[in-house]
């Protein structure tokens, strides 16, 4: 898990642009963010990851969105999508579909809180913005996890 303020640095909406350095470490901010957690962080295992990939693909297909990039990490998801919907609503749909699929598959309990509130919802207005976002999602996240 990496909270804002982590010693490894973090990306923060409005703080840095693509290719710029991470937000610097801030022990006070990290402690504050840790105190906000209502339960231990959820970690996505390979079997859950496969379920999440399928749920996202089903949602994208059902809504006729176009997915450019997807990367499921151990504790969060990155996706680049083109759609005629509002990003906040899209994120809500994807989180709900993934949670429902995980529960239906018996991969999490009925009361497990999987997703953090909010998330990055950047508008991409040019082909370069889309290409940069896809590059970040696909190649700047570190080693990938296997899909079960």
DSSP state of 23: B
Q: Could you list the beta-strand ranges (E) of 101-141.
A: none
User: Alpha-carbon dihedral of residues 36, 78, 139, 24, nearest 10 degrees?
Assistant: -20
> What percent of the chain stands above pLDDT 90?
45
What confidence score (pLDDT) does residue 69 get?
96
What global pTM score does this model have? 0.77
The residue that leads in pLDDT, 71 or 37, is 71
The residue that leads in pLDDT, 59 or 12, is 59
Tell me how far apart the alpha carbons of residues 145 and 74 are, in angstroms, rounded to a whole number: 8
Identify the bridge partners of residue 115 per DSSP, sorted by sequence position: none
Domain ranges for the chain: 1-37, 46-139
Judge whether 47 and 148 are in contact, CB under 8 Å: yes
Q: Of 5, 136, 18, 142, nearest to 78 (Cα)?
A: 136
Tell me how far apart the alpha carbons of residues 67 and 58 are, in angstroms, rounded to a whole number: 11
Range of lowest pLDDT (31-35, 55-59, 78-82): 31-35
């Amino acid at each position: 898990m990496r909270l804002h303020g982590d010693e490894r640095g973090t990306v923060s909406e409005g703080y840095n642009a693509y290719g710029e350095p991470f937000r610097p470490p801030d022990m006070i901010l990290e402690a504050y963010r840790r105190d906000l957690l209502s339960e231990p962080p959820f970690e996505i295992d390979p079997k859950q990851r496969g379920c999440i990939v399928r749920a996202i693909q089903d949602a994208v297909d059902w809504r006729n969105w176009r997915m450019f990039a997807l990367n499921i990490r151990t504790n969060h998801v990155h996706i680049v999508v083109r759609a005629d919907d509002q990003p906040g609503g899209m994120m809500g749909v994807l989180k709900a579909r993934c949670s429902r699929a995980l529960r239906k598959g018996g991969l999490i309990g009925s009361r497990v809180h999987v997703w953090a509130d909010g998330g990055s919802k950047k508008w991409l207005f040019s082909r370069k913005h889309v290409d940069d976002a896809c590059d970040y999602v696909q190649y700047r996240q570190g080693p990938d996890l296997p899909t079960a």
